[in-house]
Amino acid sequence: MSEIILSPDKIWTPRLVVENPIEKISVIADEIKPPIRIQHDGLVVWYIPSVLKVYCETRILSFPFDSQTCVIKIYAWGYTDKEIYMFPRQDYSSSESESVLNLYSPNGEWIYEGSSIQAENVPSGRNMIQRVRTSLRFRRKWVFLSLTLIVPAVLCSLLMSAVFVLPFECGEKMSYSLTVLLTFIVLLTLVADSLPPISTEISVLQIYLTGVMCMGTVATLLTAGTVTMYSRPEDDPVPRWVISTCDKVFRPFACKTKASSSSSSDPRNKPTSSNSEITRNSNGQFDARNTNNTYSNLHNSVDCGRHSPSDGSATSIGSSGRGASRQYINNADRRDRKYNDLSEDAVHFTETGVTSGHLGERPGREGGGVMTTTTWKDVAHLVDAVCLRVISLTILVGTCSLVLFYTISY
Cα end-to-end distance, the chain, whole Å:
54
Q: Where do the structural domains in the chain lie, given as residue ranges?
A: 1-55, 62-141, 145-233, 260-371
The rounded percent of the chain whose pLDDT value lies above 90 is: 13
365-382 mean pLDDT = 67
- When pLDDT is cut at 50, 70 and 90, the band that residue 40 belongs to is confident
CATH fold group of domain 62-141: Acetylcholine Binding Protein; Chain: A, (2.70.170)
356 neighbors 198 (Cβ within 8 angstroms):
no
Stretch among 39-48, 110-119, 333-342, 385-394 having the lowest mean pLDDT = 333-342
26-41 mean pLDDT = 84
In terms of average pLDDT, the best of 31-45, 76-90, 137-151, 263-277 is 137-151
- When pLDDT is cut at 50, 70 and 90, the band that residue 69 belongs to is very high
Query: Is residue 271 scored above 80 in pLDDT?
Result: no
Looking at every residue in the chain, the average pLDDT score rounds to 74
3-state SS record for 325-363: HHHHHHHHHHHHHHHHHHHHHHHHHHHCCCCCCCCCCCC
User: For residue 319, what pLDDT is reported?
Assistant: 42
Residues in the chain: 410
Stretch among 66-75, 151-160, 187-196, 319-328 having the lowest mean pLDDT = 319-328
pLDDT digits (tens, 9 = 90+) for 274-305: 344 444 444 444 444 444 444 444 444 444 44
User: For residue 192, what pLDDT is reported?
Assistant: 83
Query: Is residue 11 scored above 90 in pLDDT?
Result: no
pLDDT digits (tens, 9 = 90+) for 358-367: 333 333 334 4
70-76 mean pLDDT = 90
CB < 8 Å & 24+ apart, contacts of 180-189 = 180/156, 180/216, 181/213, 181/216, 181/217, 181/219, 181/220, 183/152, 183/156, 184/153, 184/156, 184/157, 184/160, 184/209, 184/212, 184/213, 184/216, 185/213, 187/149, 187/152, 187/153, 187/156, 188/213
User: For residue 401, what pLDDT is reported?
Assistant: 93
Give me the DSSP letters along 49-95.
-----B------TTTTS-EEEEEEEEEETT--TTT----------HH
- When pLDDT is cut at 50, 70 and 90, the band that residue 265 belongs to is very low
120 neighbors 133 (Cβ within 8 angstroms):
yes
The number of angstroms, rounded, from the C-alpha of 297 to the middle of its chain's C-alpha atoms is 67
SS3 286: strand
Residue 323 parent element (H or E): helix 312-351
Cα dist from 318 to 277, 301, 325, 377, whole Å: 32, 13, 10, 64
By CB neighbour count within 10 A (0-12 exposed, 13-18 middle, 19+ buried), where does 108 fall? exposed
204-226 mean pLDDT = 90
